[in-house]
Structure 1
Amino acid sequence: MLVSSILNSEVMMVRYTCPCCGYQTLEEEPPGTYDICRICFWENDGVQFDDPDYEGGANTVSLRQAQQNYIQFGASERLFCDDVRKPNKHDRKDPDWRPFSSKLT
């Protein structure tokens, strides 16, 4: 997992990759920090990080579903569409991040 450094008011801030959207927005290294990504509003849950199909815990939907939701409508859950923001020119996407494939039912 890559990290990004952002120069902010002369202080170097390290950002970690959100497992839902792939942007480097988290202040603490995943998993299980419960940081909330401002781009997709995913709450970083260690259980869901280890089991991407687990529904419940800090997030209602599974990590796999949240990734698909972000791709479809820009938030981890439709409920959070008004809480998220679009990535800007300062946001960095982890080039090694990939969403899980859709689960076949």
Structure 2
Amino acid sequence: MACQRKGEYPCPCCGYLTLPVPKEHAIAYICPVCCWENDVFIASDDEPSDENHGITLKEGRENYKLFGACAKEMLIHVRKPKPQEFPK
């Protein structure tokens, strides 16, 4: 699933404004910047995400800071954030 509409809400993983709706409503939305698949079913940042092959949101954030994707195998699917996606 690719970003079709202007993002107004931050991705819970990379923080860029790529979600078209609040994260609580962005079911299975995949961020084009970090490739995190939004998981509305995890209760904490340390809970493994079934949507993201068992990595936690905390791990996804650390991975994004280290190499630019929520997981190394997702590097081929990510892109740089667009100017309008930077948080204000």
Give the alignment's TM-score, normalised by structure 1: 0.69
Q: Give the greater-gyration-radius structure (CA).
A: 1
| Runs of 4+ displaced beyond 3 Å | none
Task: Quote the Cα distance in structure 1 between the aligned partners of 2:7 and 2:18.
Answer: 9
Larger % of strand: which? 1
Q: How many residues align?
A: 82
Larger % of helix: which? 2
How far apart are 1:13 and its partner, in Å?
4.1
Find the partner of 1:47 among 33, 36, 41: 41
| Percentage identity across paired residues of the two chains | 34
Q: Deviations over 1:49-75 (max 9, x none)?
A: x21111131112100000000000000
Structure 1 portions without partners, runs of 5+: 1-11, 96-105
Structure 2 portions without partners, runs of 5+: none
How far apart are 1:47 and its partner, in Å?
2.3
The 5 A counterparts of 1:51-62 are 51-60=44-53, 61-62=55-56
How far apart are 1:14 and its partner, in Å?
5.2
Task: Quote the Cα distance in structure 2 between the aligned partners of 1:38 and 1:14.
Answer: 11
Give the alignment's TM-score, normalised by structure 2: 0.81
